[in-house]
Amino acid sequence: MKLNAELVVLSACSTGQGKITGDGVVGLSRCLIAAGVKSIIVSLWSVGDLSTALLMVQFYQIFQQGVAASVALNEAQRWLLGVTKTELSVWLKTNERFFDATLKINLRRRLHQLDDNAKLFHNPRYWGAFCAISS
């Protein structure tokens, strides 16, 4: 099968894992590269719904500005790492159309409990699972 795609994003849990063989890791990423996909974004471990939703919206906003996928992912990860409660509250108002009601309620509940300068997603478990693979 040949795919004519510049980018495939697999933002679910553990999408970058595969079976280790004598030829390396065989998984969905390798199959997509073999099919002609130029860039893939995958996760290496289980990821949370909330942090992944925020990361992916930010990633796509940067990517749509013509930035390479790997650079856009890195910028989105650094944003999620450093974003404060105050900054996230403002950002969420601007981008609320991208999130369902449950996610918004969950995020607002978490934000309400924090100091204005608190960084909700500073831990790498929230953003470090994602990596970009290019052919």
Examine residue 81 and state whether it is found in any structural domain, yes or no.
yes
Are residues 79 and 72 in contact, defined by beta-carbon separation less than 8 angstroms?
no
Q: Number of folded domains in the chain?
A: 1
Question: By residue range, what is the domain housing residue 119?
Answer: 7-134
pLDDT profile of the chain (135 residues), mean per 10: 90 78 68 92 91 96 97 98 94 92 86 88 95 90
Considering the entire predicted model, what is its pTM? 0.88
**What pLDDT shows up at residue 58?**
98
Is residue 54 in some structural domain?
yes
Angle of helix 85-95 relative to helix 101-112, nearest 10 degrees, comes to 160
Q: What is the distance between the alpha carbons of residues 10 and 24, in angstroms, rounded to a whole number?
A: 20
Residue 73: per-residue pLDDT: 98
Q: Is residue 109 part of a domain?
A: yes
> Does 2 reside within a domain?
no
Look at residue 83 in the predicted model and tell me its pLDDT. 96
Q: What is the pLDDT of residue 54?
A: 95
Predicted pLDDT of residue 25? 58
pLDDT at 84: 95
Is residue 1 situated within a structural domain? Answer: no
pLDDT recorded at residue 21? 62
